[in-house]
């Protein structure tokens, strides 16, 4: 079975940093793309960042551009999200996602992705 496992969440002060990891297992081939979404209480799940697997081309939400960096380890089928200069509004459950098949949906859309992790909590205190 395909499984995505996130790690690295926790509590950090505003202005601090966290590094999230997402390891994908059970994939026969490399994913088309992997991404990160987040969901704060009372809000919809929103796009954070994505990386095209073959090219490592990256896409970021405007709210995190310049502060977050997404990367991947091709050999390990693992993606990372380096989060710097964290703000209280960044607090949310962060979900890893993987796209393994052709999709008409944009990489910024939840509908693009086939598999999801269980989520990891990021708390930012001020």
* 14-48 pLDDT, tens digit each: 999 999 999 999 988 889 999 999 999 999 999 99
Contact 118, 6 (CB under 8 A): yes
pLDDT computed for residue 104 by the predictor: 84
The pLDDT score that the predictor gives to residue 102 is: 74
Tell me the per-residue pLDDT of 66-87, one tens digit each, with 9 for 90 and over.
Answer: 999 999 998 888 999 999 999 9
Tens of pLDDT, residue by residue over 33-42, are: 999 999 999 9
- Terminal C-alpha separation, the chain: 40
Q: Is the model more confident about 100 or about 60?
A: 60
Q: How many residues does the chain have?
A: 126
3-state secondary structure of 57: coil
pLDDT at 40: 97
- CB contact at 8 A, 33 and 55: no
Q: Is pLDDT above 90 for 50?
A: yes
pLDDT tens per residue, range 99-114: 998 778 999 999 999 9
Catalogue the long-range contacts made by 71-78 (C-beta closer than 8 Å, 24 or more residues apart).
Answer: 72/34, 74/30, 76/23, 77/23, 77/24, 77/25, 77/27, 77/30, 77/31, 78/21, 78/22, 78/23, 78/24
Cα–Cα distance for residue pair 59/11, rounded to 1 Å:
25
**pLDDT confidence of residue 93:** 98
Query: What's the pLDDT score for residue 56?
Result: 93
């Amino acid at each position: 079975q395909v499984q995505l496992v996130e790690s690295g969440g926790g509590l950090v002060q505003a202005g601090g940093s966290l590094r999230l990891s997402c390891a994908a297992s059970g994939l026969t081939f490399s994913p088309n793309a992997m991404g990160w979404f987040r969901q704060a209480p009372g809000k919809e799940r929103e796009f954070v960042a994505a990386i095209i697997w073959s090219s490592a081309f990256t896409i970021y939400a405007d709210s995190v551009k310049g502060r977050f960096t997404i990367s991947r380890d091709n050999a390990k089928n693992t993606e990372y999200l380096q989060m710097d200069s964290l703000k209280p509004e960044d607090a949310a459950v962060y979900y890893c996602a993987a796209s393994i098949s052709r999709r008409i949906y944009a990489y910024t859309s939840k509908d693009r992705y086939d598999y999801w992790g269980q989520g990891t909590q990021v708390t930012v205190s001020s």
